[in-house]
Structure 1
Amino acid sequence: MYPLCINHAGWILPRKILTGSIGRIAGFGQAGSAVIPFMTGALASRFGIKPLQPLLVAMMGLMTALWEIIPNHAKRRD
């Protein structure tokens, strides 16, 4: 999702705010990459490994939904 967001931001955002926006996207990407393993470990330590499969299916469904809502063709705004 991260490369997709960076590429899409390059097409839809004006050039004057693009650099700051890419920094924010990178920050959210790093935070997300830390939260999901922590959440998985917390669930596994509390309930065992049974909730891990539904968590994986939910994450894949969320990523698929996010992939579908991003438009295919965007025009650059300058």
Structure 2
Amino acid sequence: MFKNKKKQYFLLLTIFFIFSLSASAQCAMCRAALGGDGNKVQAQAVNDGIVYLMAVPYFLVAAIGYAIYRMRKKKKLD
């Protein structure tokens, strides 16, 4: 039963990760500076950079949360 839940969580996490890759984030100042038809490549590069920078804190929080979960679980077993 535990393995089944683990597979479900992994599948859900994978689905969220795949659908979050198409997110585009840009502040108003960046949009104004990169607006226009000539800057499409630069605007896409800025969007990608923002999304990558935004993802790092989420991964760090997830790793810390998982470490705390493992410590608490190990403590309960002792």
Taking structure 2 as the reference length, what is the TM-score of the superposition? 0.53
- In the TM superposition, structure 1's runs of 4+ consecutive aligned residues that sit over 4 Å from their partners are none
The Cα offsets for residues 35-73 of structure 1, whole Å up to 9 and x where unpaired, read as 12222xxx288x532122121111011100111122142
Higher gyration radius (CA): 2
Higher-RCO chain (CA-CA 8 Å, sequence separation at least 6)? 1
The CA deviation string for residues 6-31 of structure 1, in whole angstroms up to 9 with x for no partner, is xxxxxxxxxxx302212211221320
What amino acid maps onto 1:25 in structure 2? Y
2:62 maps to a residue whose letter is: L
Alignment size in residue pairs: 57
Counterpart of 1:28?
A: 12
1:68 aligned to 2:70? no
Q: Mark the CA change 1:51 to 1:64 in structure 2 (over 3 Å): closer, same or farther.
A: same
The DSSP-based 3-state class of the residue aligned with 2:21 is: helix
Q: How many percent identity over aligned positions?
A: 4
Structure 1, unmatched stretches of 5+, are 1-16
**1:1-78 matched pairs, under 5 angstroms:** 17-39=1-23, 43=24, 47-70=43-66, 71=68, 72-73=70-71, 74-75=73-74
CA RMSD between the two structures:
2.7
